Each structure stands twice: as C-alpha cells, then as structure tokens.
Amino acid sequence: MNIIKLTAETQNNLLDNLLKRSPNNYGQYESVVADIIANIRERKDQAVFEYTKKFDKWDITADNIKVTEEEIEEAYAKTDSDFIEVMKRCAANIDAFHRRQLRNSWIDTKPDGSILGQRIMPIAISGVYVPGGKAAYPSSVLMNVIPAKVAGVKKIIMTTPAGADGKVPTGTLVAAKIAGVDEIYKVGGAQAIAAMAFGTESIPKVDKITGPGNIFVALAKKACFGYVSIDSIAGPSEILVIADETANPRYVAADLLSQAEHDELASAILVTTSEELAKAVSAQIYEFLKELSRADIIGQSLENYGYILIADSIDAAVSAANAIASEHLEILTKNPYEVMTKIENAGAIFLGEYSSEPLGDYYAGPNHILPTNGTARFFSPLSVDDFMKKTSIISYSKQALEHAHKDIELFAAKEGLTAHANSISVRFRKE
C-alpha cells in the first residue's frame, strides 16, 4: 500500500476516487434493469421463469420455485452441527441488541380536550434479498431478518438464486430457518427485486425490500423505490482505521485485509499519526498476503482503493474520517473512547484492539448492514425502525379548536387556501 501525506488535496483526491464505486455511477445498466422490471410487471411468473433459465441455467416452474421443508431439513443434515450452534448464538446476540431499539406508541392529552399521539406499527410483509454463489453469506440473512422479526413483521419472504441444480446453499437455508423466514423463493437478480416489488402469481408483493446484491440488484432496488420501501443502495465494503503509535501493526494490517477481501471495489484505509506504524503495517500486509486464500482479490482492492495516510495529529485524522464517513471505523489509539466522541460520521465504530471489524460482522449483535460510500453522513445501520411505520393521531375538542381556529384560518388565508380556512371556520359560524 502506498503511504501518502494527509493534506487537503490528497483527501479530496481520495474522496473523488472512492465515489467512483457508487452504484449511482452505473447508469449504463439502468435500461437493462428497467426492461427486466417492466417485463416482470407485465408477464409476472412467466418472465421470472425465463430470466431464471437464462441467467441461472435451471428450469424453474410454479411447482419448484419455493423452497420446501424437506429442502430445509436436508440443508440442516448437510451443515456442520457446530456451525449451526454458532449461528444460533449469533442470532441470539442480534435479537437481544435489536430488542433494545423497540419503541412504544404514545398519547398526550391536555385539559382543553386536545389529544395528540403517535401509533407505531410493524409493516405487514417484508422481503429480503440474499445473493448466491460466492456472495452467499448466512450472516446477512440473520442481520436482515431478525430486526424485522423483532419489529413484529407478520410475514417475511426471502428470494435467493439457486444453482444450476436448483439448489440453494445450505448455510443460507439454515440461517433463514434460524432467523424465522416464512417463505423462500429460488429467484435472483433484478427479476427477484421486481417480483417482490410488484408481486407475481407465485411471489407475494412486499412492503419493504432489504439485502445486498450485485449492481443489477442495487439498480433494481433503486428503480422500485416508491412502489416499495428499501433499506439502501448498498455499495462496496469499506473500512477506515484511525491509529497512533500505540497500535499493533499486525492487528491493523489484519483488520484492513478483512474488508479488502470482499471484492476488488472494497476500500481499506489507515489514517495514522505514526510514520513508523504506517511502514510496519504496509510490510505486514504483504506478509499476510502470502497466506490468505483471496490474495488476488485483496491485492486488486488495495491497488485500487487502499490508502495509508500520515496525519499531523489525531484531530486531522478524525477530520478525514468524518469526511470519508466510512462504513466501518476502527479506533486503535491510546484513548479510543476520547477519539470516538469526535466522530460524527461512521456506519459502525469499533473501539480498541480487541474489537476488530469481523466481531460486528457476525457476533456482537449490532447490525452489519451499514451505510456505504459516504452515506453515513445521513443514513444509519439497518434497525427495527426500518420495519416500523408511524401514524400520527390528532383529536381536538370544540374547546381546544376554539383557541386555535383563528390562527389556522389566518395561515390558510395567507396561503390562498380558502377551502382550508372554511373547513375550520364553518364549525364556529351560526347556520
């Protein structure tokens, strides 16, 4: 990895480079995705079957599109029992964390007879997309489904591509069962997103779609937003580490590589006040690459979007971190908690040398579905709130409205909305 002095210029160049990875920059595929969505809307199941045959190379029908209980039982039989128990423990931690996010409806009454409140209810049906192939991550199944279950969503369906043999990865099926998915359909790609957004003869229409996917999935979610709610348009994974001279270079290097191995577009950045640490981390990275199975992917990722930045101070490092707004932010400094108080933009913050990023990916409990590509400036991790809808409650007595009606009528008149004013004033005019 190249070691660069952190300046305003290098920071701006870095930000420009990172933004190239945004799904918003793949407009050349939008027409393809739009055609798929239109075809699914018009021809429903038949279009789903045709796209599955074309892209996934197996003969899907209304009879085999849905995963059966027998297939789930077979997946359990083929999955290592220790792994099943680990998934259950992870699921318990995820459930416990997200239960702390639950909020209650509320009502506020006043002596004049006015009643205001907010009713909080879960959405009725949620859909989760799970990638297949090399990107089949059971952990993402748990992270997408459990917050919806905690929120009280009545029905959760999942779509995921099957292989040419019509089989779904066993880990995906076991994770779905542990998390509480109600129905699983063997459909992938943009066609799966369109099917959940608009419904087909086999796949029900949902209220919200969550889950990561390739660029076609991301663009399909973007195109269907408004017909359904979505979690976000996920970009490539990223990690930023703030470290000083007290950090262990082996730990820093290992943590940077943990995200670089996702794909060639992943970003791994170290911002440090120690040039000695920077050199040690760079050397250690190349030592680790000799033994890691995805070294080719990691090497490409680091060449494209890997940086080691030397900052003049921790405050300068924090300023860079806030500008980058990374998905994952590790703080490996003498006093990480003090540094953490200065962080304004990050998807998830990991404090101290024993809080490496994979802890959050699998086990700790907070959601690993996080804002990417700088969107942590205004987006949050997936949470129970994402599966809730809020309804305002308003009730005024005659006495309460009498105190307010002239103000409302004046405001309406100033906006030229005489029918609005009349709707209030009619209640205080004699017939």
Which positions are annotated as active-site residues? 327-328
Closest CA to 178 of 137, 146, 220: 146
> For strand 306-310 and strand 3-5, is the pairing parallel, antiparallel, or unpaired?
parallel
Nearest Cα to Cα of residue 334 among 241, 245, 240, 239: 245
Contact 98/150 with Cβ under 8 angstroms?
yes
Residue 316's Cβ-count burial label (10 Å; 0-12, 13-18, 19+) is: middle
Residue 261 near residue 290, CB atoms below 8 Å: no
Residues 6 or more apart from 7 whose CB is under 8 A from it? none
Per residue in 262-284, is it b (16+ CB within 10 Å) or e — as a string? bbbbbbbbbbbbbeebbebbbeb
Report the C-alpha gap between 298 and 258 in whole angstroms. 9
Q: DSSP character for 14?
A: H
Residue type, 60: I
Helices (H), 248-397: 249-260, 275-289, 295-305, 314-324, 336-340, 357-362
Q: At 223, list the tokens.
A: 């195109």
| Beta carbons of 339 and 242 less than 8 angstroms apart | yes
CA angle 163, 166, 169 (to 5 degrees): 55
Task: Look at residues 118, 153, 286, 138 and name the one whose alpha carbon lies nearest to residue 211.
Answer: 138
279: left (phi over 0), alpha (psi -120 to 50) or beta: alpha
How many Cβ atoms sit within 10 Å of the Cβ of residue 105? Answer: 12
Q: How far is CA 5 from CA 218, 272, 309, in A?
A: 35, 10, 6
Q: CA 314 to CA 294: how far, in whole Å?
A: 32
Residue type for position 73: E
